[in-house]
Amino acid sequence: MATRGLAGLDWLNFFVADFQTAFGPFISVYLTNVGWTQSAIGAALSTGTIASMASQVPAGALVDAMRSKRMTAAAAIAAIGASALGIALWPNFLAITAAEALHSFASAVLGPAIAAITLILVDARAFGERLGRNARYAAIGNAVAAGVMGACAYYLGDRAVFLFGAALAIPALAALATLREADTALLRPSRAASPSVQTRRSQRSLRFLTDRRLIAFAVCAALFHLANAAMLPITAAAVTKRAGSEAGLIIAACIVGPQLITALLSPWAGWAAEAWGRRPVLLLGFGSLPIRGFLLASVADPYLIIAIQLFDGFSAAAFGVLFPLIIADATRETGHYTTSLGLVGLAIGGGATLSTTAAGLAADYIGFGGALLSLAAVGLCATAVVWTLMPETRVVVEP
């Protein structure tokens, strides 16, 4: 199927990104305004972080095991909508922690389910380009949702953000309902695998865990997020000290700007990955990370930081497209695509969690500049690992 012929998949990515945005910084603001202490907020959000880490592999395995990826995605969307509704209606500790845990597990299911639906519907030769298109609509959804939900919070109150987020599950489900071919395509062997591959799938072999490509990419992904996850929070803290009352606008621009770059470049990243191979695009995306870190550490003007932060959009476009694409390459003949997404997602979560902790300690002891230089050094190591250890995974698919 052509990459441009799936409007339902475009809108699915757009609306999923929309309602997921409600679970970002808005929840901390909401809980603070309803009287929660910062320690209680931290405990509730930590529940979500722990649940997200613990859910990655089981959720991926669940998606692999389910025959209908579309129904699996529908259940996850409904669960996330229920989580947003629960947060809006019952802002007590038990309900919030339960909603955070439910949201984390459902999100861990939804991402792989959408990737699996894309893999089913799109010809293998166009998979990279389609992933780029998915990333474009997700980035646009993030940017639009951030603005609309900010307006909801300002004019209608913080609770309205989560009511609006819950309501967005409805158009997401409507977009998903248009992708009925995702169910019927599973019955066609040519869409799934050759008979020999299907035999190997029935054996559910765990040999894929020793695949060098998968292991190398998991290491690269963990290092990438170890360098990347804390870079904007550390920069935000530094900007707050320098810019005073204008810090909020600067940080908002630092978030929206990269999303626009991601939306512009993601389709190109998918095309280039198919035309040039995975490694060149991955190297470009990883290479922009240490450049960004070194520049952020050396620039004092808060407004120049907005321009520097645009490098994050390029990294996000490259990694966002290459993550599901490289996993598809490595697991093409195993039947463990979404399980492998979960395994690498676990590595990503570990790197991101360690990043914020380590960078915070570094900022306390050697200052913001030193912390950013440390993150840039880790990014340089990540790029070196891609260069030395990461093999090319592109498989040439015959017409």
Task: Note whether 38 and 132 are same-domain residues.
Answer: yes
The model's pTM is 0.81
Q: Is 334 helix (H, G, I), strand (E, B) or coil?
A: coil
Q: What is the pLDDT of residue 22?
A: 73
Q: What is the pLDDT of residue 196?
A: 42
Q: What is the pLDDT of residue 174?
A: 95
Question: What pLDDT band is residue 86 in, cutting at 50, 70 and 90?
Answer: very high
Task: Note whether 164 and 187 are same-domain residues.
Answer: yes
Indicate the residue among 160, 192, 224 that finishes a domain: 192
User: Comparing 141-155, 236-250, 278-292, 306-320, which segment has the lowest mean pLDDT?
Assistant: 236-250
Task: Note whether 171 and 248 are same-domain residues.
Answer: no
Q: What is the pLDDT of residue 204?
A: 53
Asked whether residue 79 carries a pLDDT value surpassing 70, the answer given is yes
pLDDT tens track for 261-308 = 999 999 999 999 999 999 999 999 999 999 999 999 998 787 888 899
Burial of 265 (0-12, 13-18, 19+ CB in 10 A): buried
The one-letter amino acid at 169: A
Q: What is the pLDDT of residue 354?
A: 86
pLDDT tens track for 312-345 = 999 999 999 999 999 988 887 777 888 889 999 9
Task: Note whether 10 and 65 are same-domain residues.
Answer: yes
The one-letter amino acid at 70: R
Task: Note whether 153 and 207 are same-domain residues.
Answer: no
pLDDT tens track for 46-58 = 788 888 888 999 9
Domain count, the chain: 2
φ/ψ bin of 320: left (φ > 0), alpha (ψ from -120 to 50), beta (otherwise): alpha
Asked whether residue 218 carries a pLDDT value surpassing 80, the answer given is yes
User: Comparing 68-72, 82-86, 134-138, 245-249, which segment has the lowest mean pLDDT?
Assistant: 245-249
Asked whether residue 193 carries a pLDDT value surpassing 50, the answer given is no
**Residue 211 or 245, more confident:** 211
pLDDT tens track for 298-307 = 987 878 888 9
Indicate the residue among 192, 210, 229 that finishes a domain: 192
The fraction of the chain above a pLDDT of 70, given in percent, is 89
Task: Note whether 188 and 254 are same-domain residues.
Answer: no
Range of the domain at 75: 1-192
Handedness of CA 44, 45, 48, 53 (dihedral sign): negative
The Cα-based distances of 398 to 40, 123, 124, 308 in angstroms read: 56, 11, 9, 41
> Highest-confidence range of 200-204, 309-313, 364-368, by mean pLDDT?
309-313
Q: Under 8 Å CB-to-CB from 139, ≥6 apart: which residues?
A: 17, 259, 260, 262, 263, 266, 316, 317
Cα 3 to the center of its chain, rounded Å: 21
Mean pLDDT of the chain: 84
Indicate the residue among 168, 192, 216 that finishes a domain: 192
Asked whether residue 62 carries a pLDDT value surpassing 80, the answer given is yes
Task: Note whether 28 and 171 are same-domain residues.
Answer: yes
CATH code for the domain in which residue 235 is found: 1.20.1250.20
Q: What is the pLDDT of residue 195?
A: 40
Q: What is the DSSP letter of 396?
A: P
The average pLDDT across 235-241 equals 75
- Where do we find the tokens 């931290």? 42
pLDDT tens track for 155-164 = 888 888 899 9
Task: Note whether 275 and 378 are same-domain residues.
Answer: yes
